Amino acid sequence: MNSNRVVSAIFFVLFLVATVLITVWATKRSRSSKAFLLASGGISAWQNGFAMSGEYLSASALLGMTGLLAIGGFGGYIYSISAAISWPIILFLFAGPIRRLGSFTLADVLSYRLRQRPMRIATATSNIPITLFYLIGQLVAGGVLIKLLFGIPYWLAVMAVAVITLAYVLFGGMLATTWVQIIKAALQCFGVAMLTLLLLRHFSFNPANVFRLVADTRGASYLGPPSLSGISRWDSISLSIGLVCGAMGLPQILTRFLTVPDVGSARKSAMYATAIVGGFHLMVLVLGFGALALLGRDTILHAGGGGNMAIPLLAEKLGGGTLFGFICGISFATILAVVSGITLTSATTLAHDVWGNLFSKEEGAEPSIRVARVSSVVVTGIAAMLAMAFENTNVAFLIGLSQAIAGATNFPILVLSLLWRKLTTRGAVWGMAVGAISSVLLIIVSPTVQISLLHNELAILREQWWFFPLSTPALVSVPLAFLCSVLVSVFSREPSSEAKFDVLRRYEEASGDQLSQLAITNH
């Protein structure tokens, strides 16, 4: 294990050196607000596609997905399927409008046809918790991983991750963050592809042999979807809705469309990201069952982490300590890249939506770089302190809470804003509020919290918590947000919103500059 730690440390240091050099280079090109927060919109389509996939494919995609497949069989692939489904929808539904209407944040898109002040308050109120919970989850994962591999205290590991990623954001801005994510995505795809090839070499380069061996040892039922009924069926449906809608509502993903020069580049970058994410999850399917076939379920479970060590153990078996260290180094890079992207998104929201549009006396001014940097320090500091307190908290729960809020707030309002003429500001605000509140409350009273985290004796006795038996709230919270927005909008007509919707439809294929000239001024 000591030799593995040394190899992991070497790859980790190499990644840090490369990214520090990138940050120094990017600092000279991040003088203005537009350059610091959006890289002046100069990221190319392929670069943004890699960065988007790097933002989305967190450590849980690399470690957690394979563990779920190896331990739970094909039923764990619901996470990958849901992830793959969401990207084509993002491509066709959101890429163009977000690039056309947005300037710095997602709130720019929502407040185009609605009243700015209430929409920016509502969007910031929901997006800050979304990014904060996601950030805490990544810091907890990074802290635990570094603690286990290097033997340093957990609090020091969390602080190390926070300080390193904060350096990317403070000095290099979006340009440095983008290239960190590009390198991380390339390394992640290369590592997974190399593992897949080494695995397939054991099976004559025929994936069918992998599944055949699993069927012989675990039974054919292990390769098919589980037979669900009752609460389990509804729980799976709710989980799928939450994963799909949550991915389409994450602000750190959607605002990446603002870093490219035009609508065409936004759509191309989404196509690249869709291909990368889809190919990655196909390889994960093979690796998950390959780990089960070569290592055995008991070995993976004995390593701890709920199956998260399946990929590192498989790497060690296929390529020894060097490959094990490389995969662990990629995991470090993954966490650093995702944390830096989330931190910058939170800082942009505070600098542009909160400070620039709500407190700044100069209307329409660009967000202050100083405010963005201070916001980055504040957000990272809060997340790091909470991550220290949540050391033993389930990381999936924290990230799930983030996606649950995103799926029930940003996603419904984005869809209605782009597709429904009669949406009003009051309807949008009420929909976001109801979606966020219902998501949090239903998660608190769910079996995930009452049984797994709080060990509520009454809930344990009943096995399924009677108050809300589903583990995820999306089946209720997402339709509830849509319904509330529609009902409130029906009874609060807003002619200016309808007029601006007509402008959107009329000039749907216009460029961002043309549309801004034709658009009706927001009030």
Given 3-state DSSP classes, what are the helix, strand and coil percentages for the chain, each rounded to the nearest 5? 80, 0, 20
- Residue 510's contacts (CB-CB under 8 Å, 6 or more residues apart) are 100, 518
> Which tens digit of pLDDT belongs to each residue from 399-437?
777 888 899 999 999 999 988 999 999 999 999 999 999
Q: What is the mean pLDDT of residues 41-51?
A: 89
Share of the chain above pLDDT 70, in %: 87
Q: What average pLDDT does the segment 28-40 reach?
A: 77
User: What's the pTM value of the predicted model, to 2 decimals?
Assistant: 0.84
Q: Which of 125, 213, 206 is nearest to 432 (CA)?
A: 125
Instruction: List the domain boundaries for the chain.
Output: 2-225+241-393
Residue 479 pLDDT class (50, 70, 90 cuts): very high
Q: pLDDT at position 362, please?
A: 57
What's the CA gap between 361 and 471, in Å, rounded?
Answer: 45
Would you say residue 483 has pLDDT above 90? yes
pLDDT score, position 433? 93
Q: What is the mean pLDDT of the chain?
A: 81
Tell which wins on pLDDT, 20 or 115: 115
Report pLDDT for 516. Answer: 45
Q: Which fold has domain 2-225+241-393?
A: Sodium/glucose cotransporter (1.20.1730)
What is the C-alpha separation between 447 and 1, in angstroms, rounded?
Answer: 37
pLDDT, average across residues 139-165: 82
Question: Is 341 a residue whose pLDDT tops 50?
Answer: yes
Looking at the predicted structure, is the pLDDT value of residue 520 above 50? no
Judge whether residue 522 has pLDDT over 60: no
Q: What is the pLDDT of residue 521?
A: 43
Of the pLDDT bands very low, low, confident and very high (cuts 50, 70, 90), residue 490 is: very high
User: Is the model more confident about 107 or about 361?
Assistant: 107
Nearest by Cα to 180 from 19, 21, 16, 58? 19
Mean pLDDT of all residues in 296-306: 75
Q: Answer whether residue 145 shows pLDDT above 80.
A: no
Residue type, 379: V
Which tokens in the block code for residue 486? 């529609």
For residue 509, the model assigns a pLDDT of 52
- 113: helix, strand or coil: coil
Task: Give residue-wise pLDDT tens across range 190-217.
Answer: 989 999 999 999 888 888 888 888 888 8
